[in-house]
Chain A
């Protein structure tokens, strides 16, 4: 799980490097790099898989906005079973309370 917040940690999911590269370039707006990554990944991952990778990344661009705008909390079960993971991966720093201290909106 640490791989989602740490740039260089892997977890053994197939084509992980390609997936991370595509999502990172898309989110960071690195369009020239993304174009190259799309072409390369189409050869290894497959063209349809590349498209669907970008589909999922785009969908979550929307979902994160919904979550942040509505302040939806984790459901109690998820909150309980993920507490240690959230601390280990640093996700805790994204909590709404910590953002209040970090950002002046």
Chain B
């Protein structure tokens, strides 16, 4: 189980808002638990592959040596999807995504993407503070029986179905095919961007930096990551 001292930002000398720290800890616990499509062991392996690939992102894909072997914990297609989303998301196009989704299923792909994005955000924060990346959580055993995806999803022109109609920031429905995956990632985003989970959905601003400042950062990071959205 996750140590209560995980994400101990204060010991590094940084004043990180409590809701952010709590969101990060909750995310780590969630990744370790069995999900709708992937077991806890598989989810942690997805996180491990994503982290390793992102840590090697400075090298082109064909030069990345030493990426960990999955030892059969997840299918090769899942491993490649995790690595690509983590390190080469800017290269993803519809053909690549379609192939990955057809192999994994759309719900499994969404759940995998949620884990990868969460790890990317938390690792990026650790790096930015000059801290070591948090040790990955210990996986919980077992699987779940409930595999239902969300109701009310539709083809909105994305690679996966999304809830439609939808109120709130458009991007916050990107993982909505699998509600739990959406919550895993956007609970963090809500805490990290805007000053509180609900503030992201309500587009309310309560953080220490101003809204224009946050939007400048968001846009700049998106441009550097070559993200069209």
Contact = CB atoms under 8 A, between A and B. Distances in A.
A22 B15 CA distance: 17
Contacts of A52: 17, 207-209
Contact of A71 (B118, B159, B193, B216): B159
Interface string B123-152: 011011110000000000000000000000
30 contacts: A4-B216, A14-B213, A16-B216, A19-B217, A23-B217, A24-B220, A27-B224, A48-B15, A51-B15, A52-B208, A53-B217, A56-B192, A60-B193, A61-B120, A61-B124, A61-B221, A64-B221, A65-B86, A70-B110, A70-B158, A70-B159, A72-B171, A73-B157, A74-B170, A94-B228, A96-B92, A99-B90, A99-B228, A100-B94, A105-B84
A13 interface: yes
Size category of the A interface is 35 or more
Interface in B76-109: 84-86, 88-97, 109
A71 B159 CA distance: 5
Contact of A96 (B17, B93, B223): B93
A87 B45 CA distance: 40
Given A24-B224, A67-B171, 19 more contacts: A3-B216, A26-B127, A34-B128, A51-B15, A52-B208, A55-B20, A56-B193, A58-B128, A60-B221, A62-B120, A62-B124, A65-B89, A66-B185, A68-B90, A68-B225, A70-B160, A71-B97, A71-B160, A105-B91
Given A4-B223, A23-B220, A69 B97 contact: yes
A61 B90 CA distance: 11
A59 interface: yes
Contact of A91 (B93, B127, B216, B228): B228
Interface in B200-223: 207-210, 212-214, 216-223
Nearest to B55: A29
A65 B117 contact: yes
B72 interface: no
A26 B127 CA distance: 8
Interface in B44-91: 58, 84-86, 88-91
